[in-house]
């Protein structure tokens, strides 16, 4: 698992390079644990 901190400049650079940004939202503990096991 890669838990590198993302900063606003990093996100802006990614957006400007036209690369897709993938994000997931978990509203409870069980889903957050599932998301942590993925490569997203």
Res 5: pLDDT: 81
How far apart CA 4 and CA 32 sit, in angstroms, is 17
Q: By the 8 A CB rule, do 24 and 35 touch?
A: yes
pLDDT in tens, the chain (40 residues): 566 788 999 989 988 998 888 888 889 999 989 988 887 7
């Amino acid at each position: 698992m890669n838990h590198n901190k993302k900063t606003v400049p990093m996100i802006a650079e990614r957006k400007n390079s036209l690369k897709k940004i993938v994000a997931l939202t978990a509203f409870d503990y069980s889903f957050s644990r599932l998301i942590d096991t993925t490569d997203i």
